[in-house]
Amino acid sequence: MKRQVEEEINQLKAKILHMGSLAEEMIHFSMKCFIERESNFGEKVFKNEEEVNRFQIEVDELSSRILALYQPEATDLRTIIAAMKINSELERVADQAVNITQTCTLHLFKETPVKTMMEIPRMATIAQEMIKDSLDAFSRSDVELAQAVLKKDEEEDTLKAKVLSEIIGMIRKHPSQTKQLVDLILISRNLEKIGDHATNIAEDVIYMTIGKDIRHPQQQDPPVVSPSL
Amino acid sequence: MKRQVEEEINQLKAKILHMGSLAEEMIHFSMKCFIERESNFGEKVFKNEEEVNRFQIEVDELSSRILALYQPEATDLRTIIAAMKINSELERVADQAVNITQTCTLHLFKETPVKTMMEIPRMATIAQEMIKDSLDAFSRSDVELAQAVLKKDEEEDTLKAKVLSEIIGMIRKHPSQTKQLVDLILISRNLEKIGDHATNIAEDVIYMTIGKDIRHPQQQDPPVVSPSL
């Protein structure tokens, strides 16, 4: 019984990691689509999305199955709860990449290209790194790496604010380009959201590993989920 | 044992509903703040946010406790899984209301007011109704009402597209007002996101009630979670 539950939890983790690598690819391809104005990359995004959606259902199904069959406790229970939450986050990361791609193929490609991409490719690199690191942290139960992800999100938020203020300045100067510049704002928001999802994953990893819920820290003293659960 | 688990599940549901009513209030107050340019309403939003965050941790804690102590099965297990998911959605609804309020108090109030709010108050009304209906559906295990929420999201998406296109037209005519008009775009996106969270809640209610996962329907034939789980 013990070996069986371990095996199924390992399967669950493997599914999450596979799903994560598909989502990372989607961020990468959506940016290629944006930078190179090439809708072929968009097709890769949509292809991966189908797979991510399939994984999402499989992960929830497998989690429910493990809960129902083995009644896991302590670390095993926390791992399954974390897996279910990370599952939702990854599906939403995929949605953000789809949104970026749609903004490109349905709107941006029809307009005159604007001369600058500002820090958007940099934001995408950070977002992709954050997803990768948060999943590495999940795979290795690495609290330190998860904490580094939380730190990186501050950098992403600073870039987002910078991009917004630059775009507003550009729109004022070139109002005829409003539409494509607003599209850039929306893309930067999608990337910021990916960073937020990575942050949520990192928090789930910390909860899973040390049994402590670090969300909303000012409200928790002592920690509400004890390590002995 | 059976009575005890029922009682704790009822407590869990009550917490979710209380959290939902706090989140609904937050949408309402953030809109009052936006429409009346009055930051007092913003303070109410921030006050509720603290409570929602506390509830989020309590709901996860209680769910973990029920899973660990009673090893629930079938409908009970699905209810707890749904509660954990709805919990995340509601915390994000609260975040969106906070974002709207911050856009108002930190940015919009410092600029000359734009003459029109377009369909933004209407979008807020629909978003709030969607949250209310999705939680009523949760409370009564009402699949029909949950399905009506999914339908309403289409209306919200149509309004969002309309608002975006109107704002882009206004920016072109009044580029000096770019900053406050971009703020309106961001607020309309926050409201759209609230609609998306309500949609997710409605899908969770359907899963909880009939044991069928209706996400990504094109990929599922037959349903992957059988009612007998």
Does B186 lie at the interface with A, CB-CB under 8 angstroms? yes
Decide if pLDDT at B220 tops 70.
no
Region A118-139: mean pLDDT is: 97
Contact state of A171 with B186 under an 8 Å Cβ cutoff: no
Contact state of B67 with A84 under an 8 Å Cβ cutoff: no
Does A78 lie at the interface with B, CB-CB under 8 angstroms? yes
What percent of chain B has a predicted confidence (pLDDT) above 90? 82
Rounded CA gap, A42 and B48, in Å? Answer: 41
Question: SS3 breakdown of chain A: % helix, strand, coil, rounded to 5?
Answer: 85, 0, 15
Residue-wise DSSP of A122-159: HHHHHHHHHHHHHHHHHHHT-HHHHHHHHHHHHHHHHH
Sign of CA dihedral A204, B7, B215, B227: positive
Three-class SS of B18-78: HHHHHHHHHHHHHHHHHHHCCHHHHHHHHHHHHHHHHHHHHHHHHHHHHHHHHCCCHHHHH
Q: What SS3 state is found at B223?
A: coil
pLDDT at A228: 38
Contact state of A88 with B88 under an 8 Å Cβ cutoff: yes
What chain A holds in terms of domains, given with CATH numbers, is 2-210 (1.20.58.220)
What residue in B sits closest to A180 (Cα-Cα)? Answer: B168
pLDDT at B111: 83
Does B214 lie at the interface with A, CB-CB under 8 angstroms? no
Could you tell me the two tokens for A189?
Answer: 């928001």
Closest CA to A62 of A18, A126, A101, A119: A18
- Provide the mean pLDDT of chain B: 91
Does B69 lie at the interface with A, CB-CB under 8 angstroms? no
A·B CB contacts under 8 A: 114
Q: Picking from A13-22, A132-141, B33-42, B104-113, which range would have the lowest pLDDT averaged per residue?
A: B104-113
pLDDT band per the 50, 70, 90 thresholds, residue B110: confident
Q: How far is B200 from chain A (nearest CA, A)?
A: 10
B2-37 burial by CB neighbour count: b if 16+ within 10 A, else e?
eeebeebbeebbebbbebbebbbbbbbbbbbbbeee
Decide if pLDDT at A162 tops 80.
yes
Cα Dmax for chain B: 68
pLDDT at B219: 57
Q: How far is B34 from chain A (nearest CA, A)?
A: 21
Per-residue model confidence as pLDDT tens digits over A53-105: 999 999 999 999 999 999 898 899 999 999 999 999 999 999 999 999 999 99
Q: How far is B225 from chain A (nearest CA, A)?
A: 6
Does A47 lie at the interface with B, CB-CB under 8 angstroms? no
Q: How far is residue A169 from each of residues A62, A162, A182, B160, B213, measured CA to CA in Å? A: 50, 11, 12, 24, 46
Rounded CA gap, A184 and A99, in Å? Answer: 12
Residues 6+ apart with CB under 8 A from A115: none
Closest CA to A88 of B215, B186, B78, B77: B215
Q: How far is B134 from chain A (nearest CA, A)?
A: 19
